[in-house]
Structure 1
Amino acid sequence: MTLVGRTSAAVVLSGLMLANPLIARGATTDLFVDKSMPNCSDSGPGTATTPYCTVVKGVSKLAAGFTLNIGDGTYAETIKPAVSGTASAPIVITAWPGRNPVLSPASFGANISSRSFVTVSGLTFSGTKYDGVYVTGSNNITVTGNTVTGAGQPVSGKTVPGISIRGSSDSVVSSNNVHHNNGTGILVTAGSTGILVTGNSASFNAEGYRRNANGINVISPGNTVLRNVTHDNEDSGIQFYTGGDNNLAALNVTYNNGDHGIDDLNVTGGRLIGNTVYRNCTTGINVEGTSGNYQVIDNVAVDNGVYPAYNGISCARRAGNIGIWDSAPSSTTVDHNLVWLTTSGKMYAFGTTFTSLAAMQAATHQEAHGVQADPRFVSPAAWNLRLQAGSAAIDRGDSGVSGAQSSDIEGLPRVDDPATSNAFAEGPRTYDDLGAYEYQP
């Protein structure tokens, strides 16, 4: 949309023109940056035909309702909006459609500080000195569809996360590819609540000098981690640590990580619902320390904690597909989970360890609807953890548990498989599958 000042404009529009010189000179709500275009100019109009040359210039011209489109080139500049958007007129900072900008400054890639209603999308942040995308003291921020890689350095004091949400609320981190950062992939710190982390891939993140970097790390209450894939991270795929109470992790796939698939330490009120957790170094789903009031339901946990080492990292720690340790068993509910080992090892821990689900059930009277069986993954060697026909995970879930979803990690609907009995399922839908993937007969 173009707003043009005219001599016959009404008094209201004249007031807007005086207040906003961009409107007065006929600027649009779409601004453009592309340093690769020979006619770019920071003193020009910032249009598609005469874009700005620098990101800083484009960002300085933003106002509520504006979109900044960034074009080709590598920019050693930080995106740092000076103003906020509104619910009806957000600010959007995005890749110019069809172009591939890279932000690579010796600072933050994007620094969203004390702002509201700002979206950062479709950009690549590479080799930033600090966090690729840094959000602090803000609300209603959306970080979506970006690639973040190479943030920080693999030495003490210089590791940083790819994306961090700090002391912020009601925001979304979605569909980002966060990989090979020198620190945790996605970090949600204390003071952040109402954060939805969904549809992201977080992989190969590592501090490099110690086992500490996670795919996703949440240490604040009241957030949701949904439909993410985390793999080959130095520490756990998904982690909830002290302060990360009352969070939901559902429909995540987490495999081949250097510690747990999903790790929970000293947190309460957590829900781990319908995740697929495969071949992680130690306990696949881990609840320990002073954790309590946990629900671990509808998950598939296979071949966790049975390998001696991961990329040189010892796995000789707590093992088992699902482990409920320390004080956690007294207030934790586990049910409708599938566990399986293709080799010998610890199948389950609930206060003590068990080599079979049957032994755990007899000793604890938990997992009444659980099953020890081959999940029949399509191709575990290729990390394709979807279900094949005949899997014991089909039509066996509890769709009534808080946090259960009506579609799977790929957005596919729940489907009743006519070849499978629903005898062990519960809830309003008696055909939800276990784990993150719904078999489509």
Structure 2
Amino acid sequence: MTTKLLNIKTRLFRSLTNLGMMIILFSCSSSSIGEEPINPPAPPASSVEKSEYYVSTTGNDENPGTLTSPWRTIQKAVTTVTPGCIVNIMGGTYYEEIKVTVSGTADKYIVIKNYNDEEVIISGDNKPRELMNLNGVSYIKVKGLTFADCLGSYSVGIKISTTSDEASHHIEIESNTIRNLYANATATVYPPNVYAGGITVAGYLDSKAIHDIIIRENTVKDCRTGWTEAISVTGNVDGFLITKNVVTNTGNIGIDASGHWGISKNPTTDFARNGVISENHVSYCKSPVEGGAGIYLDGSSNILVEKNISHNNVYGITVGCERANNFVTNNIIRNNICYHNEGFGIGLMGWSPEGRIIKNCQVVNNTTFGNAKDRLGEIAIYSTENTTIKNNIFYSTHANSNLLYVDDSHLNLDMNFNHYYSSSPDVKFYWKGNIFSTFEQYKQNTGCDLASAFSNPLFIDTEVFDFQLQSTSPCIDTGDPAYTPAENELDFNHNPRKVGACIDKGAYEKQ
């Protein structure tokens, strides 16, 4: 953790949403519920876009790049344009590895997009390819393109990275599709060191962080990513927004913000931080060798994960730290829905024998349903310090499975005002090697969840995964009475987070 990050008292950020700009204030020195240790990218200034150029599969790079005389290659366009230009790519398939080397400016973004909503495919031709590189550039928008058909390790759809002395910043990746990227030819096994990332952000420089990155409304599907992820932010990255993306069937983890892997050689900057992961729909992210979470915070800090749906993965949402003798801190997991994942719905996965600790994490107002078919629980907790788990609904549907799984050491675990239920009569609460068969036994022996409840939460319709609350739900107005929502915090449906005397439990607030 950098000295700068530890000493921050108050930080202001703005993130783009379809409702306009959102401002959230937080204090890194406090871990109380509702405060947000986040500093995602500020929205770009208004672009002044002056010139438009065109690319066509029937063009010629000797042409002037006009609508009637377009260029042939995208590479020609991105090498030639200047700040404020728009590159319009006409429909067709382009077999290129594109290296964007020209930057825009704060008021003159360079825009690279499909022309007139036509389908533009940038194809790897079933070879190992890095289809688009944005290394050490800034003020770039990439919109409406399809990146497809790579086969082989170190393939990637879009990579945002650094040069030897410059870090990329103010990059927007929006409304693109990444599909059919395969690290290797077989789906049953991943040899060591095979990778095929969908969208990768990697900060290699020690002293210059990648920042102000927006990854919005993209689709990553039908890939075999090997030992990497569909959307990945790693290394020295400070400030990002990953929102409203669809990630499905990717062969490993869906969305990952990670750190301490030696990407940046300075350990004080070698982790993703100050980011927001929101409103994404992540499903069927499963590795044949190492499981796979829908959303994973691995060694990253100051991340807000909210209003996501994560289902039919191996795990729903995981906070962890795989590298020994490191820790993660100040992450908030709130207002998410996790269902039908094979393992836990939400997991805090430190490991104290190796010095991997989860610190100052908040898990609040989430809904989990029907997870943990074979292992762990609706929520699983390992090696945490100063952890808050409140106002959640944990609903188990599987016979002979754990509703709650708590193991290893914990310091200052504040777990209360939650709502538990199991549709199976053989409910189990696992606590540090002990198994309790009733909710009352669990409370009496652990001292946790003393103000929590066990009963049917009365969702609208679990058959169609509608986890809104019926008007008679026992979860209405029964959350922590001391809870004060953060400024601009909304429920899963973008409604006010607190209506009535107390906040509701779960991801939805009854209006």
TM range (shorter): 0.7 to 0.9
After TM superposition, the structure 1 = structure 2 runs for residues 2-401 of structure 1, keeping only pairs within 5 Å, are 28-33=50-55, 35=57, 40-46=59-65, 52-61=71-80, 63-78=82-97, 80-96=99-115, 98-101=117-120, 102-106=146-150, 107-114=155-162, 115-129=168-182, 130-137=196-203, 138-152=210-224, 158-167=226-235, 168-190=237-259, 191-207=271-287, 209-219=288-298, 220-233=300-313, 235-242=314-321, 243-266=327-350, 267-281=358-372, 282-288=376-382, 290-303=383-396, 306-307=398-399, 319-328=401-410, 330-351=411-432, 352-398=434-480, 400-401=482-483
Match of 2:495 in 1: 412
Q: d(CA) in 2 for partners of 1:109 and 1:265?
A: 30
1:320 CA displacement:
2.8
Higher share of residues assigned strand = 2
Residue 436 in 1 paired to residue 458 in 2? Answer: no
Q: How many residues align?
A: 380
Q: CA RMSD in A?
A: 2.7
Q: 1:128 to 1:398 in 2, by over 3 A?
A: same
Q: 1:152 to 1:389 in 2, by over 3 A?
A: same
1:368 CA displacement:
3.3
1:78 CA displacement:
4.7
Residue 320 of structure 1 contacts residue 345 of structure 1 at CA under 8 Å; is this kept in 2?
no
Q: d(CA) in 2 for partners of 1:67 and 1:353?
A: 62
Q: 1:295 to 1:125 in 2, by over 3 A?
A: same
Tell me the TM-score normalised to structure 1 length.
0.78
1:401 CA displacement:
4.4
Residue 59 of structure 1 contacts residue 68 of structure 1 at CA under 8 Å; is this kept in 2?
yes
Q: In structure 1, give the amino acid aligned to 2:232.
A: S
Q: In structure 2, give the amino acid aligned to 1:227.
A: K
In terms of mean alpha carbon deviation, does 335-344 or 400-409 score higher? 400-409
Q: d(CA) in 2 for partners of 1:260 and 1:299?
A: 14
Q: d(CA) in 2 for partners of 1:295 and 1:128?
A: 39
Q: d(CA) in 1 for partners of 2:483 and 2:65?
A: 52
Q: d(CA) in 2 for partners of 1:410 and 1:338?
A: 20
Q: 1:397 to 1:134 in 2, by over 3 A?
A: same
SS in 2 for 1:287: strand
SS in 1 for 2:385: coil
1:339 CA displacement:
0.6
User: Gaps spanning 5+ residues in structure 2: where?
Assistant: 1-48, 121-145, 163-167, 183-195, 204-209, 260-270, 322-326, 351-357
SS in 2 for 1:183: coil
Residue 273 of structure 1 contacts residue 297 of structure 1 at CA under 8 Å; is this kept in 2?
yes
Q: d(CA) in 2 for partners of 1:108 and 1:359?
A: 51
User: Gaps spanning 5+ residues in structure 1: where?
Assistant: 1-26, 309-318, 418-429
Q: Which has the higher contact order (CA 8 A, sep 6+)?
A: 2
1:335 CA displacement:
1.2
Q: 1:373 to 1:121 in 2, by over 3 A?
A: same
Identical pairs, percent: 25
Tell me the TM-score normalised to structure 2 length.
0.68
Q: In structure 2, give the amino acid aligned to 1:279.
A: G
